[in-house]
Amino acid sequence: MKTKFIGLDGFGEIEAVSKKKSTRKTKKLTTAQKSARFVKRAATLCAKNIKAKGAAKTNNKKTAFRKPAGVQSSILEKQYLQSRRAPMTSGSAMESLKYFKKPAAGKTYAHSAPAEPKAHKTVKKKAILAVAACLTAIMLSCVTVASALDAPKPVKNESPKASAALPAATSDEAVYSLNTPDMYVNNVLSSLYVDGELIGTTDEGDKLDNALAQYLVDYRAAYDDTTTTEYVNDVKVERHGLDNSNVISADELMETAKEHLSVRLETDWSYDIDIDYDTDITYDEDEDSDYEKVVTEGKKGAEQINVRLVYIDGAFESADVISTERKKEPVTEELIRGCKQGKKENAVSGEGTGQFIWPFPHTHSVSSLFEWRWGRMHQGIDIAGGSDYGQPIVAADGGKVTWAGNDGGGYGNYVIIDHGNGYMTVYAHACEVACSTGDYVDQGDTIAYCGSTGNSTGPHVHFEIRVDGTQVDPLGYVS
């Protein structure tokens, strides 16, 4: 087949056609679109190559030699047989060709390649379809990857000022916060919360933990080993912080936190008290009232009181006696007194004068008033001035003793005197009582001795005045 060459003029014409401007607007293709175009062109080219190779193989296939119709075959057969025995010369081959006739127009030679079987065409089509399917799958994969490359990257909105103050966080330390889309959680940071309120954030988490623990240790430094301290607040350190928080040092954060922290301190306190001795009095009607004889001298005992004290932020909160230990037993004093003249008339009648004297001559110092205290009403006054234990308590007025002893309640050892006319007085927390229920006493008689029995935080006298059964402020009746 001869090849037809295009001259310079023809080449120029083709170039002119290719350089014509297209009327369509040129659209800038994305990476995905470019990848799809490339795969499509590659698939088309591959299909053409496969089809061309299949046709070439068919044309090169050796076919059976058949006799042309209407031509004598004896000469050809003779030549063929001779060629089998010895190579044919060019002259003999040319000689044999003159016996052939030219075929009519539109006809083919009888020895041309036979028509391709239908089964072969089907197999070839299936092969082409399979290749096209594979190329399509490759094209889709490329488009997907290209789309991912073209996807816009998310932009993180963050404060430049906050970012500058933060330590660098690795991929496993920085976590995106779903609750606050513009923030990231940085696991390097530690945030301090007091009662749910954010106090501050630091990148010195371990130092902050140590500072919080040391604050409690320093708080109890002046106490013994039995003392404990704890935060009254709900104090938490969260091991993360938001990257727009103000990061400060652990020392600075601790100084800020001290304004919010409240500390409960509990400590044990032990003190010794004297236990007054009992006095047994035997009255002798043959002796005058000023007669007194000591049969057995009384001796005080000793007792150790162990109290648990509670303070919150340095202010006293409560005190509870946790145990007592008797160190020395007291010795009862035995006396003989004369009573020849009998009792005073107002005492025998069970009625007082209506005028009250101070019940604790040892001191006039009031440690607690008639007022609300510790969530309830304090129904009397507490009298204490130091070294009070064992000091005598006297009847504020004459009358009949309606109770003297200990019923296991909060008063401990106490005395009640009925003065008549609706007046009664109460003397509580005594270490010992010096009268009995049913006795008649005069104003100023010793009825008990100061102590710290019942619900008491230390030696003192709890004194009440009741009018028709109702407690009133004693300071309105005594001074």
**Boundary of a domain, candidates 342, 376, 407:** 342
Q: 203 is written with which tokens?
A: 């990148």
CA distance 406 to 413: 5
pLDDT score, position 99: 43
**150-167: per-residue pLDDT in tens?**
555 554 444 333 333 444
Which neighbouring-strand residues pair with 423? 420, 467
CATH at 417: 2.70.70.10
CB proximity list for 63: less than 8 A, separation 6 or greater? 111, 112, 113, 114
Which neighbouring-strand residues pair with 198? 193
pLDDT score, position 421: 84
201 & 278 share domain:
no
241 & 305 share domain:
no
**Boundary of a domain, candidates 342, 361, 396:** 342
CB proximity list for 430: less than 8 A, separation 6 or greater? 393, 412, 413, 414, 415, 448, 449, 450, 451, 453, 461
pLDDT score, position 342: 42
326 & 215 share domain:
no
Domain contains 421: yes
* Amino acid code (one letter) for 436: S
410 & 469 share domain:
yes
435 & 363 share domain:
yes
CB 191 within 8 A of CB 238: yes
**Boundary of a domain, candidates 261, 276, 310:** 261
CA distance 365 to 460: 10
CB 428 within 8 A of CB 409: no
Domain contains 157: no
CATH at 326: 2.20.230.10
CB atoms within 10 A of CB 239: 10
Buried b (16+ CB within 10 A) or exposed e, 326-341: eeeebeebbbeebbee
Domain contains 166: no
425 & 477 share domain:
yes
CA distance 366 to 384: 6
CA distance 351 to 59: 151
Question: What string of H, E and C letters represents the secondary structure of the chain?
Answer: CCCCCCCHHHHHHHHHHHCCCCCCCCCCCCHHHHHHHHHHHHHHHHHHHHHHHHHHHHHHCCCCCCCCCCCCCHHHHHHHHHHHHCCCCHHHHHHHHCCCCCCCCCCCCCCCCCCCCHHHHHHHHHHHHHHHHHHHHHHHHHHHHHHHHHCCCCCCCCCHHHHHHCCCCCCCCEEECCCCCCCEEECCCEEEEECCEEEEEECCHHHHHHHHHHHHHHHCCCCCCCCEEEECCCEEEECCEECCCCEECHHHHHHHHCCCCCEEEEEEEEEEEEECCCEEEEEECCCCCCCEEEEECCECEEEEEEEEEEEECCEEEEEEEEEEEEEECCECEEEEEECCCCCCHHHHHCCCCCCCCCCCCCCCCEEECCCEECCEECCCEEECCCCCCCCEEECCCCEEEEEEEECCCCCCEEEEEEEECCEEEEEEEEEEECCCCCCEECCCCEEEEEECCCCCCCCEEEEEEEECCEEECHHHCCC
275 & 247 share domain:
no
pLDDT score, position 105: 47
387 & 428 share domain:
yes
454 & 400 share domain:
yes
* Amino acid code (one letter) for 45: L
* C-alpha pair distances (Å), 111 with each of 58, 70, 115: 14, 14, 12
pLDDT in tens, the chain (479 residues): 444 444 555 545 545 544 444 455 555 666 666 666 766 676 676 667 666 666 655 555 444 444 444 444 455 455 545 555 544 444 444 444 444 444 444 444 444 444 555 555 565 666 667 666 667 767 666 666 555 555 555 544 443 333 334 444 443 444 444 444 445 555 678 889 999 999 988 988 899 999 999 999 999 998 888 899 999 999 999 886 555 557 889 999 899 999 999 999 999 988 888 888 888 878 777 877 667 888 999 899 999 989 999 999 989 888 888 898 999 999 998 988 776 544 444 444 456 788 899 999 999 999 889 887 777 788 899 999 888 888 999 999 999 999 999 998 889 999 999 998 889 999 999 999 999 999 999 988 999 999 999 988 889 999 999 998 899 999 999 87
The reply to whether the predicted model has a pTM over 0.85 is no
CA distance 359 to 376: 24
Domain contains 3: no
pLDDT score, position 225: 86
Radius of gyration of the chain (CA): 60
- Residue-number span of the structural domain to which 324 is assigned: 268-342
183 & 235 share domain:
yes
* C-alpha pair distances (Å), 230 with each of 207, 208, 297: 19, 16, 51
What is the count of structural domains for the chain? 3
167: Cα separation from own chain's centroid: 23
Of 421, 429, 439, 420, give the one whose Cα is nearest residue 464.
429
